[in-house]
Amino acid sequence: MNQKEFFGEKCIQNLSEIMTYINANRIFIVCGKSSFKLSGAQEKLEKLTKGKVVDIYNDFSLNPEYNDLIKGISLFKKNNYDLIIGIGGGSAIDMAKLIKFFAFQSGDLKEYIKGKKDVMSSGFIPPMVAIPTTVGTGSEATHFAVLYLDDKKYSVAHKNILPEFVILDPELTYSLPAYVTACSGMDALCQGIESYWSINSTAESREFSRKAIELTFGNIVDAVYGSESAKEKMLLGANYSGKAINIAKTTAAHALSYALTSYCDIPHGHAVAILMSEIIKYNNNFKNKEINDPRGIDYLQAIFNELNNLLGVESENIESRIISLMKEIGLSIKLRDICVRNIGQEIFLSGINIDRLKNNPVKLNKADIKEIFNSIN
């Protein structure tokens, strides 16, 4: 499915065109509890949807859980909505995508989420508009969405999860706090890097990755310190990172990050960033490791040379460049500085996403992962 995208300041006004196009009179909005108002989105949407039936769902966790999804589906099914709008960060957009996709599915949704049953065609799937208000995740550009079930993170993937319309209005990111900008921006940068070296990468995905890295790496510092033009470029970079992982998927940094988010209560982008320098170190040592990518060592050498050029560093300095960047934008680089609870190796190991780990170009065994944990702790 080809998305219809709108980009630029005030392009949220194109929502009127979308509503007219699909004859939408009953709107279901999924948004964050506070970001909806703080970003200016609430005021803008109230004007654009005036005269229409509008209901809002924002009663879900920062890391959405299965019960949040069931609650959202129950609310959605009370009215015959013509359109879903997911507006906010990755959590809000993912929740909207999941409600859109599962609202008319029959059977036990847990079986679908855990991958034990294939999703059947559900007939009507309401159209969706995704409107990000952060400069990371790229969720608006992917055909998968994540949620927690029984304290485990799952990624649900299906072509019908992809939103039909995307609005990238940088004005909605201008009030974004520095820490949120830093976390979401690092998520986008890490997605660009991981999708570039992923064993699933293609020429198309690497082009998206390249644009994501250039736009995020080159603008994240200025964006954190309030530059509106930098946030505009970061928003576009995040979108490219979403398009890249939509094809190539993420790898080890994301695969190992989930326990840090769920157990330590660390924002997703910060958790991934903490791991990235160590993952880079391991992947850069691919000549002395067992590799996953069938394209071989010469291919990986070329990929890492290209990454070094994109980041403007020599291979031996790439990990330290990520660390210095994190310090520059105010992100802690060690778990002990921000983890609200003492996380042990077993908890860390229990949260690994094996599917994402398999996408990594270098194989990481249990001993490697324990060493990575000790390095970031």
Q: Which two tokens stand for residue 138?
A: 């790229």
What lies within 8 Å, CB to CB, of 291 at 6+ separation is 297, 300, 361, 362, 363
Output the pTM of the full model.
Answer: 0.95
Question: Could you tell me the residue ranges of all domains in the chain?
Answer: 4-173, 178-376
Q: For residues 19 and 38, what is the distance between their CA atoms, to the nearest angstrom?
A: 24
What is the number of other CB atoms lying within 10 angstroms of the CB of residue 6?
19
Q: Which two tokens stand for residue 159?
A: 């072509």
Q: Which two tokens stand for residue 241?
A: 């990172």
Low-confidence ranges of the chain (pLDDT < 70): 1, 120-123, 315-316
Assign domain 4-173 to a CATH class: alpha beta
Cβ(139)–Cβ(180) under 8 Å?
A: no
Q: For residues 5 and 154, what is the distance between their CA atoms, to the nearest angstrom?
A: 27
Q: For residues 150 and 170, what is the distance between their CA atoms, to the nearest angstrom?
A: 36
Q: Which amino acid is at 151?
A: D
Q: For residues 108 and 19, what is the distance between their CA atoms, to the nearest angstrom?
A: 32
CATH number among 1.20.210.10, 1.25.40.10, 1.20.1090.10, 3.40.470.10, domain 178-376: 1.20.1090.10
CA angle 346, 64, 276 (to 5 degrees): 50
